[in-house]
Structure 1
Amino acid sequence: MDGTEETIIKETFFISHGSPIMTIDESMEARKFLQGWKEKVYSKNPNSILVISAHWVTDEPTVNAVDCCDTIYDFRGFPPPMYQIKYPAPGSHDLAKRVQELLGASGFKSVHIDKKRGLDHGAWVPLMFMYPEADIPVCQLSVQSHLDGTYHYNMGRALAPLKDQGVLIIGSGSATHPSNATPSSLHGVAPWAAQFDDWLEEALTSGRYEDVNNCETKAPNWKTAHPWPEHFYPLHVAMGAAGENWKADLIHRSWHNDGIMSYSSYKFTST
């Protein structure tokens, strides 16, 4: 795509991006995991990257198409150096148009292209560690938090052909994302969070995608783990985009916010 030699990709990923403090906190295990991306997780250079970010919520699917992606600082109250970081990745008009076409052909009738929006921290924070050169074209796709997991899974299914064109599809959210009012754990990982995280791993690695799609009723402690669902739906897109038959692997697990925010991340491989 964009005139590059096409590479077939079999994997999609869900990355827990967590807090943007990762950009300056060198002690975080999730940061170290992302820094080792090319060496330990995925050595290929994709032709382009599509990120489904929890931090872009719209009424209808929207994909950005710009020449160069602005860095959006969609957070408040953090140290000033974080607002100086830039991730000037090129955009891809071709990829945005292809996303619009694939979703439209699968019944997503109102799919919009945004010609101004850059990358929010759900995209640029993980990418600055995964692909620090910022030389791979990137598009972002929004989520619709008023809909459900099955809707986002079907969105992913529609986007699966992109892998054959060398597009790396990444869902960026958080395995658990409790509200700011949720008490931190004083003794390691909070039991409710561990129970949810263990359920998610078991459901995914067992291939029980329907349970994950129906997380609102199947998952333990759902409303505590995700009082608002937008940080979970990128996982559904990545899972759906893996294709008909896929295998899920847990590729990272660590915790933040005193044991209530999970950074569990997954690879989905088509078989």
Structure 2
Amino acid sequence: MPDQRMPTLFVSHGSPMLPLEPGSAGPMLQALGHALPRPEIILAFSPHWMARQPILGTSTRPATLHDFGGFDRALYALQYPAPGAPQWAARIEALLREAGWGVHEDPQRGLDHGVWSPLRLMLPQADIPVMPLAMPWPLDAALAYRLGAALAPLTEQGVLLFGTGSLTHNLHEFHPSARTDDPPAAYVQAFVEWMRGMIDRGDTPALLDYRRRAPHAARAHPTDEHLLPLFWALGAAGEGATPRHHAGGVHYGNLSMDAWEFVSA
């Protein structure tokens, strides 16, 4: 058994180009990976795998999925050959069922780019087993929080609950000529500052109601699937968790790359 409780994480993965254009997020993710206690496994929750109810990827050797199109050909050669963790499925499924969630297994499922692209920077050795968890859909912030809370006991068993999404995610405003170091849009700055303030204050009700309360919420997230892993990580950490902010800058003017580590009380 581990000698310390694992934190929970929310990491922004931004664009599929992150492995080739890490920008200011690259050093942050590398430092975060070095600072983390070594987990037994990583349970990854990404908006790039959705299903009607939770599904666990139980492959012994999950494939690196290049689930995008029209990007630099070099991206399609990249691999993240982490082992899987099917031996953990039963205990994870038991927690989900106890909380009222149906759950299935997919022994063929690989790792989508939302999972492997930041892990490739954080943990390049790819020697820690990774198990993906499908995002049940439809889902909202409160349900994502509840789903994370159901999995909280895993943090005492050496499991790193790894939520990956984007703190802002409006691809309608992404311009092909944009650069990772373009100045951030004003609405992005306002939304990020509000989110950070609420996280620092531990104001869970405000965060779960962000679509009504946060400035420019609908512009920062026309749909909110990329922010839901943040609430999942918050729910797993529980009330009173200490947030540790990791600044990743803003890519292409509108993709905030910040990350948070939540240490349970």
TM-score with structure 2 setting the length: 0.93
Letter in 1 for 2:119: L
* Secondary structure, counterpart of 2:205 in structure 1: helix
Q: What whole-Å deviation, never above 9, does each CA across 1:124-171 have from its counterpart, x for those lacking one?
A: 011111111111111111223522100000011110000111001111
Letter in 2 for 1:25: E
Unmatched segments (≥5 aa) in structure 2: none
Of residues 209-218 and 68-77 in structure 1, the stretch that sits farther from structure 2 once superposed is 209-218
1:102 to 95, 101, 109: 95
- Counterpart of 2:201 in structure 1 is 206
Letter in 2 for 1:170: F
Answering whether residue 20 of structure 2 is matched by residue 24 of structure 1, we say yes
- Counterpart of 2:167 in structure 1 is 175
Q: What whole-Å deviation, never above 9, does each CA across 1:76-108 have from its counterpart, x for those lacking one?
A: 111111101111111111223222111110111
Answering whether residue 212 of structure 2 is matched by residue 217 of structure 1, we say yes
Q: What whole-Å deviation, never above 9, does each CA across 1:23-78 have from its counterpart, x for those lacking one?
A: 1225x111121122343x32x21111011112111121111111101000011111
1:112-127 paired onto structure 2 within 5 Å: 112-127=104-119
TM-score with structure 1 setting the length: 0.91
Of residues 244-253 and 224-233 in structure 1, the stretch that sits farther from structure 2 once superposed is 244-253
- Counterpart of 2:120 in structure 1 is 128
Whole-Å separation in 2 of the counterparts to 1:171 and 1:75: 20
Whole-Å separation in 2 of the counterparts to 1:106 and 1:8: 25
- Counterpart of 1:9 in structure 2 is 5
Whole-Å separation in 1 of the counterparts to 2:83 and 2:3: 19
Answering whether residue 112 of structure 2 is matched by residue 151 of structure 1, we say no
Answering whether residue 55 of structure 2 is matched by residue 65 of structure 1, we say no
Is the contact made by 1:57 and 1:230 (CA closer than 8 Å) also made in structure 2?
Answer: no
Computed over aligned residues only, the root mean square deviation of the Cα atoms, in angstroms, reads 1.9
Answering whether residue 69 of structure 2 is matched by residue 76 of structure 1, we say yes
Unmatched segments (≥5 aa) in structure 1: none
Describe the shift of the 1:134–1:253 C-alpha distance in structure 2 as closer, same or farther (beyond 3 A).
Answer: closer
Whole-Å separation in 2 of the counterparts to 1:113 and 1:56: 13
Task: Calculate percent identity across the aligned residue pairs.
Answer: 36
Is the contact made by 2:28 and 2:248 (CA closer than 8 Å) also made in structure 1?
Answer: no
- Matched residues, number: 262
Describe the shift of the 1:188–1:25 C-alpha distance in structure 2 as closer, same or farther (beyond 3 A).
Answer: closer
Give the deviation of 1:208 after TM superposition: 0.5
